[in-house]
A and B are shown apart, each in its own frame.
Chain A
Amino acid sequence: MPPTLDIAVSAARLLPELVLIVAGCGLLLLATASRNGAMRLVPPAALAAILVALLALRAQPLDESTFGGGLAAGALAEFVRVNTLIMGVLFVLANWTTPPEDERGEFFAMLLYSLAGLMFVGLSDNLLVLFVALELVSIPSYVMVTLSRRGPAPLEAGTKYFYLGAMAAAVTAYGFSFLYGATGTVGISAGVRQAASILADPSSPAYGVLTIGLVLSIAGLLFKLAAVPLHFYVADVYQGAASPVAGFLGFVPKLAGLAALFKILSLTDWRVSPPLYWLLWLVAALSMTVGNILALRQSSLKRMLAYSGVAHAGYMLVGIIASPIGAPGVLGDGYAAVLYYVVVYGIANLGAFVLLALLRVNGRPCESIRDLAGLLARHPLLAVTMSLMMLTLMGLPPTPGFWGKMSLFGSALAAAGSTPDARATVALVVIAALNSAIGAAYYLRVVAACLLFENDQPAEAAPLDAPRTGAILCGFLLLTFTFAPTILMSSGRAATSGFRTLTPPPGAVVARTLEREPAAANGP
């Protein structure tokens, strides 16, 4: 199907995104129109918009087509859009009462814009569109951080997030311009062929330009993932923002960064261009280790969860290193594992933050691990849910976090033979396994506080139905994925089908893997 600029076709395809954006504009208008009363309607309206968008998405046919000049529907786009909207429901529930009443309209409008941006990231097939979509994710989220509560802390957090985010975006844009210079096209799937021929000849000047472009684009995207060395903002931003917004930041920018990373990395191939492999290897190993060690040293729960997010970004990079075609079969598909993992992580992280927001000690929100002590006696259900979130993040079998780690580590082990250095890849898995053990130490502290310790004045849950529903829904989803992880895993697998056909013929890769693997694993 040839690319088309037909507005009617594009509008029909983009109906879910349009619903969100129009609804966002409506909420902004509502915010100016009246200062009281109507604010009550804002969260339900946002929820309704997301549900309508979900219906509109369901009504669309699933196919691979390019449209609108730079957008491409496909399996990955489908995964991103569906999961964005489903998580969007949870985000709205979680943030129901987060922002001060007079800023609710703007806040929820920004939430909807950001979700729409994430959906555009999934759809984009053009560097320019991708960049704009990434900004549509980021800019509203800076505003959300600032609006999320009163006082100087969120202002500071929002400002910090904004400046550093803008810098990262500039780096990404700079990298994109190199990519355009090397391949001569802004189209992503159109550039794959050129990129492959450039990479085949390392002596050509274009090779250097392309490599610089890839490195810079990836560097900018690492900010979105909160991976080392672009992780330094997370703790302050998470701490400054209201808890449910921190939960939002644990998923939306991460999924946006990952989807963009998938698209950019489709321009390269470890097998012919090892430097990027080593770059990501190093970033993965450092993210896990630095994130976990910093998290271990925190007494504030929000900072701990922020740094643990850095560690989780490291685990996800293990799957990215495995690449979608590192080895045949489901287990060799690193991207599918990453997609599964980011959703599970997003749910567990959000659940933990919502519970934090709900709980109050002496009238102020619960911040440190100590504040959770004795929760079991006062709120058994919330305490058990919190523990479930922590055990999932820890990766204790059979929680969904464990299935996620299994597929991430498994993909890297299966793909080891097709990476530039099989032993380094196996070593990375060992580093990741050791890191999950470090992670267990600080997650267990939270579990112990909730369930083992006794306290005369345990935290009190605010009587808010919507966030509570959100938290329990998170717990319910995790329980479902505990016993039936296949639902989400196979949708992750389906989402990567585009990459398996994009990159060099799979047949050749399979042969290579099987032929190289024994030699690599035997070692000298």
Chain B
Amino acid sequence: MNALDLIIFLPLVAALVVWRLPDRFAAAVPHIALGVSLATLVVGLALWFEIGRAGQAELVAQHEVSWISLGDSDAGGLTIRYHVGLDAISGALVLLTATLVPLAVACSFSAITHRQREYYAWLLALTSGMFGVFAARDVLLFYVFFEFTLIPLYFLIGIWGGAQRRYAANKFFLFTFAGSVITFAGILYLAIRAAQLTGDRMVTFDMLRLSSLPGLSLVEQRWLFIAFFCGFAIKVPLFPLHTWLPLAHTEAPTAGSVLLAGVLLKLGTYGFLRFALPMTPDGAIWWAQPMAWLAIAGIVYGALVSWVQRDIKKLVAYSSVSHLGFCMLGMFSLLPVGLSGSVLYMINHGLSTGALFLVVGMVYERYHTRDVDQLGGLALRMPILAAFLMLFTFSSVGLPGLNGFVSEFTVLFAAFNSPALGPWFGALGATGILLGAVYMLYMAGKLLFGPLREPPNTPDLARGLTRDLTRREIAILAPLAVLVVLLGVAPRIVTDPLDPVLDAQVMRRIEGRSARRDAPPPALVWSSSVEPSGT
């Protein structure tokens, strides 16, 4: 039992405790949940500094025990291990999760009034799942956590969501589940092939072993990449598979949207980075261009659809489709700078979109509408909220000096320079920045400035809210504001520990494959020349 096990299982235990707590302690439930999530934040921070100290070579807080073991190494068998550990990639995402969870808990204090105990129990269970999925070093354990996160979110959306909550919850669950069973078949195939290729009779799902596998043929890798794609692209979501997302985001309660956008979408990009790229490097090179086209389609489509939204929550939801497109574009540039930009983008998107959902939730609690046509000039009523919203809007559109700029710039830079992609991809992706500025500023302008417009009988100041933000709400947004600025001026606090790990775990595999070609031919015909060398 080390610190990592603690943050995985503490929320789960707390969830059970909270769920079965006697009625007379019911009022304490939100505070217990907040306390637990703050405790995980402290541990998460400690782990992050530990990663910085340990360097790239080793995993921090590693813990490995056998969970399911059948057969033996002579006759052939199967082992599934509980193996967790953090490197800088997973550490960064664990820290992101640990940061967002307390905020999500705190923002529910006034928003959730019925079935409170169950609500916080599911929220804590979700936290467990999210930590587990990033910490897992065994692919099957990853898969178990990956699927486990569906259950709490299913209930968070389905019970505490908006009017279409049950439809949204079912759609979200089924989309993700349908994709991931294919991924599961791929993982099984990979593990079995690994046992055959290495001559080891034990089938294991060790991440390191599977991502350093020699001798998978190009055909196999292409198909395996598709298998990974099915699960992860739905989660990201990439362009044609994104249809579950706007619905789930809009219908979810604020905390659900924050965690869904902030953390759970990153499971898709994390999956590509952790599995698809190092385990099927030839497949990734082969599919890099189609993937980038899908990413660009998502960037442009998401931005255009955001532009015409009247519902601000839906606007932020569609903007996620656009933003995650950038993230995927950077990743499939298959360059070190692109990968590190892509991971940075995951963090930044988590912070700024999470913050936007929080702000939208705060507006909604007061006005019971999210329609921009019914709201306007809120800066007059709520100057503090307006200041925060402007900051997060600027962060989201990529204003230099704030966090969004750094990652957007590196991602496009990588796409532009990538031998796999090329200038066209960078140029088309850059239109997304332009469109992003248009729809975000348009929304912020309509909402905050101009003549004051409020629906009748609002703001609703029941449940201890005030006209402008309460102290609790300021305390929720302030940490995010600090981080947005901090990562804008000093992105290296994330990228410095990250780069060597990305290089060792992902780039080396990709470069190993690319180096087998004699010389890089011109960018656009590049992928077709891979086939003979890959087999």
Contacts and interface: CB of A to CB of B under 8 A. Distances in A.
A328 B159 CA distance: 48
Interface in B491-535: 535
A523 B220 CA distance: 9
Contacts of B144: 397-398, 402
B156 to A, nearest CB: 11
Task: Among B76, B148, B151, B219, find the residue whose CB has the most chain A CB atoms closer than 10 A.
Answer: B76
Interface string A429-445: 11011101100110011
A332 B220 contact: no
B159 A329 contact: no
A330 B77 contact: yes
Interface stretch (A34-42, A106-114, A406-414): A406-414
B189 A413 contact: yes
B381 interface: no
A99 interface: no
A164 interface: no
A436 B189 CA distance: 17
A419 to B, nearest CB: 14
Contact of B70 (A397, A426, A448, A493): A493
Interface string A316-358: 0000000000011111100000000000000000000000000
Nearest to B157: A452
Interface string B147-173: 110110001001100000110011001
Contacts of A332: 76
A403 interface: yes
A430 B177 contact: no
B147 A397 contact: yes
A514 B75 CA distance: 14
B178 to A, nearest CB: 4
Q: Is the interface of B mostly helix, strand, loop or mixed?
A: helix
A12 to B, nearest CB: 33
B26 interface: no
B111 interface: no
B189 A426 contact: yes
A406 B220 contact: no
Contacts of B185: 409, 413, 429-430, 432-433
A444 B151 CA distance: 11
Nearest to A451: B155
B69 A486 contact: yes
Interface in A285-343: 327-332
Contacts of A331: 70-71, 76-78, 192, 203
Interface size class of A (residues with CB under 8 A): 35 or more
Contact of A441 (B174, B188, B217): B174
B141 to A, nearest CB: 9
B78 A521 contact: no
B388 interface: no
Interface residues of B, number: 41
Contacts of B170: 444-445, 448
A481 to B, nearest CB: 11
Interface string A496-524: 00000000000000000010011001110
A437 B189 contact: no
Contacts of B148: 397-398
A434 B147 contact: no
A448 B219 CA distance: 41
B76 A328 contact: yes
A490 interface: yes
Contacts of B177: 394, 396, 437, 440
B158 to A, nearest CB: 4
Contacts of A445: 170
B192 A410 contact: yes
A417 to B, nearest CB: 8
B174 A329 contact: no
A383 interface: no
Interface in B168-216: 169-170, 173-174, 177-178, 181-182, 184-185, 188-189, 192-193, 196, 201, 203
B217 A410 contact: no
A489 interface: yes
Interface string A375-409: 00000000000000000001111100011001001
B203 A410 contact: yes
Contacts of A430: 182, 185
A444 B76 contact: no
Q: Is the interface of A mostly helix, strand, loop or mixed?
A: helix
Nearest to A506: B75
A131 interface: no
Interface string B61-99: 000000011110001111000000000000000000000
A434 B182 contact: yes
Contacts of A436: 181
B76 A452 contact: no
B102 to A, nearest CB: 27
A485 interface: yes
B194 to A, nearest CB: 12
B449 interface: no
A329 B182 contact: no
B9 interface: no
B192 A413 contact: yes
Nearest to A454: B159
Contacts of A451: 155, 158-159
Contacts of A262: none
A270 interface: no
B28 to A, nearest CB: 22
B143 interface: yes
A453 interface: yes
B70 A433 contact: no
A426 B190 CA distance: 12
B75 A328 contact: yes
A493 B220 contact: no
Interface in A440-483: 440-441, 444-445, 448, 451-453
Task: Among B143, B148, B184, B192, find the residue whose CB has the most chain A CB atoms closer than 10 A.
Answer: B192
A402 B159 CA distance: 26
A406 B201 contact: no
A397 B143 contact: yes
A402 to B, nearest CB: 8
Given A331-B192, A429-B185, A452 B173 contact: no
Contacts of A485: 68
Nearest to A492: B70
A489 B70 contact: yes
Contacts of B189: 413, 426, 429
B189 to A, nearest CB: 5
Contacts of A398: 144, 148
B70 A330 contact: yes
Contacts of A395: 181
Interface string B211-236: 00000010110000000000000000
Nearest to B147: A397
Interface string A155-193: 000000000000000000000000000000000000000
Contacts of B219: 521-523
Contacts of A453: 166
Given A434-B182, A486-B69, 14 more contacts: A330-B75, A331-B71, A331-B203, A397-B143, A402-B144, A409-B184, A409-B185, A413-B192, A434-B178, A437-B174, A437-B182, A444-B173, A490-B70, A493-B70
14 contacts: A329-B76, A329-B203, A330-B71, A330-B76, A331-B203, A396-B177, A397-B144, A398-B148, A409-B188, A413-B188, A433-B181, A452-B158, A522-B217, A522-B535
Give the 4 A-B residue pairs with the shortest CB-CB distance, closest first: A329-B76, A437-B178, A330-B71, A452-B158
